[in-house]
Amino acid sequence: MAYEPTSIPASSRRRRLVKRASQFWSRLSLAAQFAIAGGIVLFASALLIGAWLTARIEESVVRNTANGTALYMESFITPISQQLATQDELSPGARRALEEIFTNTPLGERVVSYKIWKPGGLVIEASNPEIVGRRFEPTENLQAAWEGEVRADFEELGDLEDREEQALGAPLLEIYSPIRELWSGEIIAVGEFYEVNYELKADLEAARRQAWLTVGGVVLGLGTVLSAIVLGGSRTIERQRRDLDARLAEVEELADRNRDLRLRVQAAAARAAAATERTLRGIGADLHDGPAQYLAYAALRLDGLGKALPDRRAGDEFEMVQDSVAQAMREVRAISRGLSPPDVEGRSLPEIVRGVVDTHSVRTGHPVALTLTSRPVPKLNQAESICVFRFVQEGLNNGSRHADGAGLEVEVEGDATAVTLSVRDRGPGLTDLPFKAGGLGLEGLRDRVESLGGTFSARAQAGGGTQLTMSLETAGRE
């Protein structure tokens, strides 16, 4: 089965072309971008300025030439045409005079055709007898001549009445000149003359060349100067960019080193914390297996000796000693239990926190509100798990000790990258807490948290009580 190739929509092709053009443009240097964009702008400006300048030059040259020719023709035509002030045609004598002027004379060699117009586009006399007496739509130049202005066009024979002149194939200067009555100056007719002028054509071509060369030279010089300036600026920017890239690489390298150093310090702190826990466990075991056992043996022996004492006063003293030994044994065992490491291995964050909360509630009888909003649950390493355990344990102990267990709350929130724990109570506030340099409670917690790269804070709540907060980054471990 044959499959026809899927055609790509035109909009998709346009987007691809635009994207490729954008990528190509972004890869160019500043100088190259200016060369392209500036070249287009300067070229378009040169075309516009050149066209405007040549048009103004041609207009000025044609107008000056036409004024000179019109003034020259006026000296011949005006005396012959005065009868047009009272009639719409020339007399036979006037026509014969015109023929003599334009036949076999130097003026006739230059002015190869003529027309004399009356209002409304009526031709009353012309070198071409076929159009005499006909009416044509008045042109803009003809209307301007009736208003007293000399108008001229060069090699623009596009009017209907210009067909005979077009057939000549010569460079013709078409001149519209008003004919005035001598005594009043009123315009009585308009003369239209067609002058063969090769010199004017050559002059205009030379003026066009000179204008285009001048504009091109100025634009080229301007573009060269601007390109040189932009090229110098581009090189400076590129040099500065390379320097900045080098500095940025150095800063990134330094940041990587600092990050590696920070991670090594945190790892070392975690190992130190683990070593401290092992040391404490050893001390606790030693207390339990050593002094606690001796005190238990002493208490047992004292029980036997107390029964053999006959003196009542000695018996009272003996009971005091026995009570002191029993109290010392209880405190040693309590210290031993406190120094034992928490059972956190293989337990998740919610399990660790919930275990501390349940144990505290059972031991003290103080209820604790627990809120867990950490989703997904981050995975903690051993040092972080022990830190969380000690933080919640110490925070609840402080709440029970200084706030009498009022309003105890534990909140856990975060995601796979970080976790934040808060312990609150409704006691007298932070000022009554033993938070001072060198302490073993909150100060030790702060050191433990910050050694793992986390943050620790203790503050009084607005409605009374204390809030302890810690945050740890878990680096996305799940």
| 181-214 tens-digit pLDDT | 888 888 888 888 888 888 888 888 888 888 888 8
Omega before 376 cis (within 30°)? yes
How far is CA 69 from each of CA 72, 194, 338, rounded to the nearest angstrom?
A: 5, 10, 124
Range with the lowest mean pLDDT among 10-19, 310-319, 455-464? 310-319
Most confident of 2-6, 265-269, 471-475: 471-475
pLDDT of residue 273: 64
Question: Is residue 331 very low, low, confident or very high in pLDDT (cuts 50, 70, 90)?
Answer: low
Return the DSSP state at 81: T
Both tokens assigned to 45? 């400006």
Both tokens assigned to 186? 């009123």
* Cβ atoms of 119 and 128 closer than 8 Å: no
Average per-residue pLDDT for the chain: 79
pLDDT of residue 424: 92
The CA-CA-CA angle for residues 231, 233, 235, to 5°, reads 70
* pLDDT at residue 132 greater than cutoff 60: yes
Average pLDDT score over residue span 79-94: 82
Average pLDDT score over residue span 454-460: 89
pLDDT of residue 411: 93
Question: Is residue 126 very low, low, confident or very high in pLDDT (cuts 50, 70, 90)?
Answer: confident
* Rounded Cα gap, residues 203 and 69, in angstroms: 16
The arrangement of secondary structure in 32-204, i.e. its CATH architecture, is 2-Layer Sandwich (3.30)
Pure H helices in 92-193 = 92-102, 106-110, 140-146, 163-166
pLDDT of residue 435: 47
Range with the lowest mean pLDDT among 141-150, 226-235, 313-322, 448-457? 313-322
477 vs 254, residue with greater confidence: 254
318 vs 190, residue with greater confidence: 190
Distance of CA 105 to the CA centre of its chain: 78
Range with the lowest mean pLDDT among 20-34, 208-222, 370-384, 430-444? 430-444
pLDDT of residue 211: 85
Fold observed for domain 343-473:
Heat Shock Protein 90 (3.30.565)
Q: How many residues does the chain have?
A: 478
Do the two domains 32-204 and 343-473 of this chain adopt the same fold? no
* Rounded Cα gap, residues 395 and 401, in angstroms: 10
* pLDDT at residue 161 greater than cutoff 90: no
Question: Is residue 296 very low, low, confident or very high in pLDDT (cuts 50, 70, 90)?
Answer: low
Name all contacts of 21-30 with Cβ < 8 Å and 24+ positions apart. Answer: 29/234, 29/238, 30/230, 30/233, 30/234, 30/237, 30/238
Both tokens assigned to 300? 């047992």
Range with the lowest mean pLDDT among 250-264, 310-324, 404-418? 310-324
Return the DSSP state at 161: G
Instruction: Determine if residue 157 is left, alpha or beta; phi over 0 gives left, psi from -120 to 50 gives alpha, anything else beta.
Output: beta
The DSSP-derived string for 213-273 is HHHHHHHHHHHHHHHHHHHHHHHHHHHHHHHHHHHHHHHHHHHHHHHHHHHHHHHHHHHHH
Both tokens assigned to 48? 């516009």
Question: Is residue 8 very low, low, confident or very high in pLDDT (cuts 50, 70, 90)?
Answer: low
Residue 357, phi then psi, degrees to nearest 5: -65, -45
* Rounded Cα gap, residues 80 and 99, in angstroms: 12
Average pLDDT score over residue span 460-470: 88
* Rounded Cα gap, residues 357 and 305, in angstroms: 44
Domain ranges for the chain, please list them: 32-204, 343-473
Question: Is residue 113 very low, low, confident or very high in pLDDT (cuts 50, 70, 90)?
Answer: confident
* pLDDT at residue 374 greater than cutoff 60: yes
Both tokens assigned to 110? 């230059």
* pLDDT at residue 439 greater than cutoff 50: no
pLDDT of residue 45: 84
Most confident of 89-93, 424-428, 472-476: 424-428
* Rounded Cα gap, residues 137 and 272, in angstroms: 109
pLDDT of residue 471: 92
Range with the lowest mean pLDDT among 43-52, 82-91, 358-367? 82-91
* Cβ atoms of 215 and 50 closer than 8 Å: yes
Percent of the chain beyond pLDDT 90? 5
The terminus-to-terminus CA distance of the chain in angstroms comes to 51
Average pLDDT score over residue span 27-52: 82
pLDDT of residue 383: 82
Average pLDDT score over residue span 144-171: 77
The DSSP-derived string for 129-144 is GGGTT-B-PPPHHHHH
